[in-house]
Structure 1
Amino acid sequence: MRRIRTASRAPLAAAAVLLALLVAPAPAAQAASPAARAASGQGHEPKAPEEFVALRDVAPTIRQDIRYFTEHNFVGERIDGYRRPMCIVTEDTAKALARAQRSLLRRGYTLKVYDCYRPQRAVDHFVRWAEDLDDEKMKREFYPRVEKSRLFEDGYIAEKSGHSRGSTVDITVVELPAKPTRPYRPGEPLVPCYAPQDERFPDNSVDMGTGFDCFDTLSHTDDPRITEEQRSNRQLLKTTLERQGFTNLPEEWWHFTHKPETFPDTYFDFPVSRHSLRPHR
């Protein structure tokens, strides 16, 4: 291309450039990446369908001890997707829990939930952790008799969870008046989850034979090795919830699903947060 000489017009060109800089609008700020928006709590997160509610809005007397919002769980850190320590479930599930709670209150007990709706991103967090065989910092408490390499094969970890459909809860029974519980201190000495109740991490639940999320066959609801008192406590929870349409997972005394499920085939990924919910009707 032929070059055009402009040396004689340099003063005029410089003046034009200066004028353009003075009147030009300021450059727009660079848009934040999706990851940056997520980290700052901004962006368009998925919302829950209108069938989901906060359990506290329906059954405010049920205690909540949402373990995956804390570091006291088998991973040892807060789990992805838990923005608030709250229980979210489908409305049918919440109403059934409220009926079960009224029944237990008359007998001097209360329900307490450890986990409710669980976003798919939390399940993905579990899977990543399970694939990292070097991370065993919580092994002594939660899976002392199970090799981490077998967690998938033995069914303790899976790529999908019924919790993500909104009708499943992890739950226990507490005798009233409820005793206070101390917070978990990261790095504190760990005790096996199947140890006697007065030795393992303090929980105001009645004695169920193991702690919550104990990856051990002693957690099987009808395991024959538990004491009569522990069996009675597990049956109190099981029969109370079964009367309201819940089904127990035989391998976990704490795991119950309300049937029929509102969303039997859908796995949701909205965060555990009040902002995920529609205004309560």
Structure 2
Amino acid sequence: MTRLSTALRGLVTTFAALLAATALPAAAAPATAQARPEPRAPEDFVALRSVDPTIIEEMRYATAHNFVGERVDGYRQPLCILTRPAAEALHRAQTRLLSQGYSLKVYDCYRPQRAVDHFVRWAEDLDDQDMKAEFYPEVDKTRLFADGYIAEKSGHSRGSTMDLTLVRLPARPTRPYHPGQPLVPCFAPQSERFPDNSVDMGTGYDCFDTRSHTLDPRVQGAQRANRLLLKGTLEEAGLVNLPEEWWHFTYKPEPHPDTYFDFPVSAESLAGRR
């Protein structure tokens, strides 16, 4: 009986050693996965400044001044990246606007899928209402998906969509946003809203409100004229406006109409590009 017990203990010890040996590669797998390089931008993506350095860039999602209230995932640098055809369309529009004393200013361009995922997580966290007073003062956060303000996919991730406005030249500097400062509704009069060196479009950027609809009948006078100048100029350059957002335009036909990219917004994503 004792010899049998000794033999059984030996078999158990041997079997445990074999299990430990076979488990080693699995334990090492996560480290290998973490070392996987980041995705890179396709060859037809460029930095907007390499096509037209005169266009002003104020990349809001690389800062804390946005509806989330913090830098958004994937925005490693305040850089506008677009497909080359979209960037060249903006250059054509900018050339025309400069002759009229205006400049384009982009707020957002290519947007990685990880940033869209960040928006979704934020929208699902109903306790996070830190930026409500500015960006969605009259919208219940439970309605953001149903009303179309937040979605699980964005045309920005395809690389040919941008958010932008007009600035009267010479451009004045825009003072920085300081987290925790008092917030004012995005549809308040321009003199009361967060200061932006853009022309008055009737609402601020990323205003979750029907007043942001490009042709909202409540927006008249100089505000409507500014929206129509932006819309008409960009349409002549081959860009199409999203009617629900005066700032949102897409170059058509899109080079990547069915692909949602996830490379980070950084110069490294474009390394080696001319």
1:277 — aligned with what?
Answer: 270
Deviation at 1:246, TM superposition (A): 0.4
2:157 — aligned with what?
Answer: 164
CA distance in 1, matches of 2:31, 2:105: 39
Matched ranges for 1:133-212 at <5 A: 133-212=126-205
- Deviating runs (4+, > 2 A) in structure 1? 30-35, 278-281
Deviation at 1:138, TM superposition (A): 0.2
Contact 1:208 1:231 in 2 (8 A): yes
Higher helix share: 2
- CA offsets 1:34-72 (integer angstroms, 9 cap, x no match): 79x5xxxx7400001001000010010000000000000
Deviation at 1:31, TM superposition (A): 8.9
> Is the aligned partner of 1:86 residue 2:70?
no
> Is the aligned partner of 1:116 residue 2:109?
yes
Q: 2:250 aligns with which of 241, 257, 279?
A: 257
Gaps of 5+ in 1: 4-29
CA distance in 1, matches of 2:36, 2:179: 31
> Is the aligned partner of 1:63 residue 2:56?
yes
CA distance in 1, matches of 2:126, 2:114: 20
2:20 — aligned with what?
Answer: none
CA distance in 2, matches of 1:212, 1:186: 17
> Is the aligned partner of 1:234 residue 2:245?
no
CA distance in 1, matches of 2:140, 2:29: 45
Contact 1:49 1:278 in 2 (8 A): no
Deviation at 1:277, TM superposition (A): 1.1
CA distance in 2, matches of 1:130, 1:96: 33
Contact 1:141 1:191 in 2 (8 A): yes
CA distance in 2, matches of 1:88, 1:64: 11
CA distance in 1, matches of 2:171, 2:121: 36
> Is the aligned partner of 1:243 residue 2:236?
yes
Deviation at 1:226, TM superposition (A): 1.1
User: What is the one-letter code of the residue matched to 1:267?
Assistant: Y
State the identity %: 71
User: What is the one-letter code of the residue matched to 2:224?
Assistant: R
User: What is the one-letter code of the residue matched to 1:106?
Assistant: S
Q: CA RMSD in A?
A: 1.6
- CA offsets 1:68-94 (integer angstroms, 9 cap, x no match): 000000000100000100000000001
> Is the aligned partner of 1:126 residue 2:119?
yes
Q: 1:214 aligns with which of 196, 202, 207?
A: 207
SS at match of 2:116: helix
Contact 1:217 1:251 in 2 (8 A): yes
Deviation at 1:279, TM superposition (A): 2.2
User: What is the one-letter code of the residue matched to 2:222?
Assistant: E
CA distance in 2, matches of 1:192, 1:104: 29
SS at match of 1:280: coil
SS at match of 2:178: coil
Superposition TM-score, scaled by structure 2 size:
0.88
CA distance in 2, matches of 1:94, 1:160: 22
Count how many residue pairs are aligned between Structure 1 and Structure 2: 250
